Amino acid sequence: MNKILNALFGLSDESGEATHADVIDLLKEDHQKVMELFEQFEDLDMSETREKRKLLRKIFAELELHTQLEEELVYPLVENAKELVTEAREEHHVVDLIIAEIKKARAMNDKTDAKVKVLKEMLEHHIKEEEHEMMPRLPQGELQEIGARLKVRKEELLGKEFPEKEMVHAGVQPVEELYGGSELEEAEKTEKPEAAAKKPAAKAKKSAAKKSKSNAKRGGKKRSAA
């Protein structure tokens, strides 16, 4: 609640100093952040599939939140550029389609990398248009007010509609739910013996954990009975 009030009144959480929630600064920060994540993805080796999936989760969460905020709170305020706004909404739609395709992929391979590259290139073009053609058409006297509204809505979405992004922020990575299948499935597909060998080890670990849990439960019951 305090965060929302502070965002509304332009105050920081602790110091109470003005934070100047200029909507253009906020959107540009998001653009820069997502582009840095793409660069990190490109720097990874083909074999670092686990890291790639982690980065994709972050990229998708950032994009899903950012595009929703723009469509709800920013695009309707762009003046005298109906065609530009329609085009930008269509680009968001294409972004969604590419994301959905990557999410469906069962393996991280050169085809997935190519899709990520296409997504990045499309976004570079999209961001350029937003920053150079749309942002100057926002009501310049209301940038901080729009920024404050955007911050409040972001908090709402993070709490309600984007639990996945909240988890990313908290540093939680549920490995089993990562995009593009799992390490084991991929190993089976590519028939790499060293990776495939992880499978029985993982199973044994799971079974040992289950056994130990069940023993602990039994032990607990005995203690409480005594």
Give the amino acid at 40: Q
**Distance between CA atoms of residues 6 and 55, nearest Å:** 31
Residue 205: CA count within 13 A, CB half-sphere: 5
Task: Report the residue from 53, 59, 61, 130 that binds Fe ion according to the rule CB under 5 A.
Answer: 130
Q: Least distance (Å) from Fe ion to the CB of residue 207?
A: 47
**Number of residues this chain uses to bind Fe ion (CB under 5 A):** 2
- Integer Cα distance of 120 and 32 in angstroms: 12
Q: Which stretch binds Fe ion (CB under 5 A): 128-136, 162-170, 180-188, 201-209?
A: 128-136
> Buried b vs exposed e over 103-112: b needs ≥16 C-beta within 10 Å?
eeeebbeeeb
Question: Which CB sits closer to Fe ion, 130 or 186?
Answer: 130
Q: How far apart are CA 28 and CA 34, in angstroms?
A: 10
Q: How far is the CB of 56 from Fe ion (least distance, A)?
A: 19
Smallest distance, Fe ion to C-beta of residue 169, A? 19
Nearer to Fe ion, 100 or 202 (CB): 100
Instruction: Write each residue from 54 to 73 as x if it is in contact with Fe ion (CB under 5 A), else as -, in one continuous string.
Output: ----------------x---
Least distance to Fe ion from the beta carbon of 27, Å? 5
| Nearest distance, CB of residue 92 and Fe ion, angstroms | 6
Sign of torsion over alpha carbons 61, 63, 66, 68: negative
In the complex, which residues of this chain contact Fe ion (CB under 5 A)?
Answer: 70, 130
